[in-house]
Structure 1
């Protein structure tokens, strides 16, 4: 039986790890976690916030997905959106999910991220 999502993998072009670290750690406030040595040789980087992990793997012919994205639940969504905007991230609010406040943003390589918080 499936009991939880262990992690979500996104991809990025070669040589972008520094930009990814600046965004996922510096802008989003996640913590970089070490990759196992056998996987570290492939490049990329992994991040964690609470029990949520995002793995960024390197893909030679990278193209960001236009629709696919992780949905990241947050608390204090207004404050969090302001944090991202103050650090230069684009924040696009979307009111189409009943019972939630949500916005979209993009990492420095174009991966789409959804941030949401239930209302009430």
Structure 2
């Protein structure tokens, strides 16, 4: 084989037009991700980008936006309980899921400000 996959470069989540302030508050202020500049030629499309560990999360504007209620990214976290506490202090609704606890995985879901499902997990 002459090509090789390294993994994910970024995940893109869709959001409605004018989403930037709400995205900045949730992803940067609440989650603690760093906003990163979008390339100049993409700035006119709207949206906002963030750094999450070694990956990027791009929030892109979608016409006729409908949130992704089932399809979702899963973010591996160190100190998941600390993240849970931070989210609860910010009045973010947490949806617990113990379906993989027998594998040593602790996890929960939240919805971003636009209704997209996000999973956070920690291997025990």
TM value normalised by structure 1: 0.96
The structure that has the greater radius of gyration is 2
Correspondence for 1:16 among 1, 16, 19 = 19
Task: Map Cα deviations across residues 51-76 of structure 1 (whole Å, 9 max, x no partner).
Answer: 02100000010001121110000011
What's the offset of the Cα at 1:88?
1.7
Task: Map Cα deviations across residues 14-70 of structure 1 (whole Å, 9 max, x no partner).
Answer: 011100100000111000000000001100000002202100000010001121110
Q: Which residue of 2 aligns with 1:56?
A: 59
Q: Which residue of 1 aligns with 2:110?
A: 105
Task: Confirm whether residue 115 of structure 1 aligns to residue 120 of structure 2.
Answer: yes
Structure 2, unaligned runs of 5 or more: none
Q: 1:62, 1:116 → 2: CA distance?
A: 27
Q: Which residue of 2 aligns with 1:76?
A: 79
RMSD: 0.8
User: 4+ residue stretches of structure 1 with deviation over 3 A?
Assistant: none
Q: Which residue of 1 aligns with 2:46?
A: 43
Q: 1:47, 1:22 → 2: CA distance?
A: 12
| Alignment size in residue pairs | 119
